[in-house]
Structure 1
């Protein structure tokens, strides 16, 4: 094999893994190197995928030289596991993770802190020019201190959809399957979409915005309970049950599913984020719903008959 198949039928991770295998030989021909550089230039995502897989391999065997067959076996197993769990490599490789039900506050080297919500993943990428947090999955709270280094590095939280640069002290960033949400708790935050990185807008304290890769949407008022999850509480005011169940799914192992009609019910109250089963009991006592569990991994919520 002299070059990697770049068709859509081969995933980027698989292509990158093949290049890691090919380039693992001690002697690399000029033709192979040229093919590799051509592949990198085809799409900006190629370099990112290659660096992720290469980093994975180096972290697995940092000192020991392996045969091409050994590299291929290990990378194949890892890629299979990623596929089975539905997670991209970037989430497996993230420097900071929280498990389901875990909420963790992390001290950063500049004196700032981030708090990762349940089932979240992020990379901390500080250098001499910037303080960057890359949110791979889930939600975080950023508590930002001024940078007293000579370069006064900006503090940025990056998601798949864009960036949120701190102009103050306190804000949350969330990345879902479809979009990202930024809530400004104190001071100001500059937000830009991935498609228009040089056209940011500035949000004030008490404002929230949704964004995807293409655009920013109309700012809204931030919920007064936007950070309640950091104290393991979920506070709702006339909220749709469908949204509440979506929130609880972050803290519950297995799958939560709700009937469409039941999802239109509304709830006002406080739920414990650290005890999803107790939260479901509170909802069942407050609303005309029936909750049934199947095998400990599926919870079905329906209207009472």
Structure 2
């Protein structure tokens, strides 16, 4: 069984390998790597694992390399095995991907994941509490100076633990630094959305200078260059972390699109009823119950051909 220290060492070894490949003439960087390499026995072990695998996979096609890695890494299962594979994959591909390789690691290798329709709670070593929404992938990268959560997909609700190290959530668009207790980050298509429920969060888009502080009760959307106008949080917006969706005057098609995120199949709405307005508190863990509840208050019917194909129609 691989220890936590060994798994962390594999992560760091992959990072060092990527940086050294990208900067082969940097003597200062190599000296820093040498100090890291000699500091602990786990570091030497991780470097040996990575370089041996790199030597074996050096000339292989990518798919074949994947197959070899799956069979040649230590006999782990579940999250431990994914962590090993991820660290070794980054080492094997570092010469071409450099440090960006970690940011494009497949989401199925993430430390924490949920399937479509699943929500999951997780408690981290520092006391931070997480709620992962449907179809979410998140990596946890803690070291002596920083606590970093890398959001690959989906949405995460964060209640920060008491710790002197800064806590960052990194999305595809930038970094979000906790200044308080509770907030949520959602990865959208080309955008990130932040909702601050308690205290504040400092936001820095990837290609921007400096941070902007978003206060409690506000939400903001950002891309890699800038932040868009802040908006007040809607009533009940945090309820999703307790498995509920609270809506007030939503169009039916907007509600159905949101529920679609929790359905492993097709969920649609006919244009004839898309304009109808809906208010209420609905279960995210039982979409069938939610649809039946909505149908009792609106002139609609539910057409379900299979459990994976459902459409809302006029009566």
TM-score by length of 2: 0.67
* Deviation for aligned residue 1:188: 0.5
Alignment of 1:210 with 2:221, yes or no, is yes
Q: Which residue of 2 aligns with 1:72?
A: none
Contact 1:187–1:204 (CA<8 Å) still a contact in 2?
Answer: yes
SS at match of 2:237: coil
Rounded to whole Å, the distance in 2 between the matches of 1:303 and 1:129 is 57
Counterparts in 2 of 1:126 and 1:303: CA distance versus 1, 3 Å: same
Partner of 2:203: 191
Matches within 5 A, 1:231-242: 231-242=242-253
Which of 124, 128, 142 pairs up with 1:112? 128
RMSD of the TM alignment (CA)? 2.8
Mapped pair 1:268 → 2:279: yes
Question: CA 1:300/1:213 → structure 2, altered by over 3 Å: closer, same or farther?
Answer: farther
Distance 2:265 2:238 in 1: 25
- Match in the other structure for 2:19: none
Is 1:95 the counterpart of 2:106 in the alignment? no
CA displacement 1:166-207 (0-9 Å, x = unmatched): 0111101111234221110000101122232x3321111100
1:252 corresponding residue in structure 2: 263
Q: Is the 8 A contact 2:130 2:159 kept in 1?
A: yes
Which stretch has the larger CA shift, 91-100 or 182-191? 91-100
Native 8 Å contact 1:56 1:93 kept in 2: no
Instruction: Tell me, yes or no, if structure 1 residue 300 matches structure 2 residue 311.
Output: yes
Q: CA deviation at 1:89?
A: 4.9
**Partners of 1:115 and 1:246 in 2: how far apart?**
21
- State the Cα distance separating 1:26 from its structure 2 match: 4.9
Aligned residues: 234
> Aligned runs of 1:131-146 on 2, under 5 Å?
131-146=147-162
**Structure 2: stretches of 5+ with no match in the other structure:** 1-49, 76-88, 90-103
2-structure distance, mates of 1:56, 1:199: 43
Query: Which whole-Å deviations, capped at 9, do the CAs of 1:137-166 have from their partners, x for residues lacking one?
Result: 11111001231xxxx321111111222110
Instruction: Give 1:130 deviation, angstroms.
Output: 1.2
- Match of residue 28 from structure 2: none
Q: Distance in 2 between matches of 1:57 and 1:221?
A: 51
* Equivalent position of 1:180 in the other structure: 192
Distance (Å, rounded) in 2 between the aligned partners of 1:55 and 1:168: 41
Structure 1 residues 264 and 179: CA distance shift in structure 2, 3 A: farther
**How far is the alpha carbon of 1:301 from its aligned partner?**
2.0
1:158 aligns with 170
SS in 2 for 1:286: coil
State how far apart, in whole Å, the 2-side matches of 1:174 and 1:129 are. 25
Q: 1:60 to 1:249 in 2, by over 3 A?
A: farther
1:292 and 1:189 map into 2 onto residues whose CA distance is: 43
TM-score by length of 1: 0.69
More helix by share: 2
Q: 1:163 to 1:265 in 2, by over 3 A?
A: farther
Report the 3-state secondary structure (helix = DSSP H, G, I; strand = E; otherwise coil) of the residue aligned with 2:261.
helix
Q: Which residue of 2 aligns with 1:167?
A: 179
The answer as to 2:295 corresponding to 1:284 is yes
The CA distance in 1 between the partners of 2:155 and 2:185, in whole Å, is 6
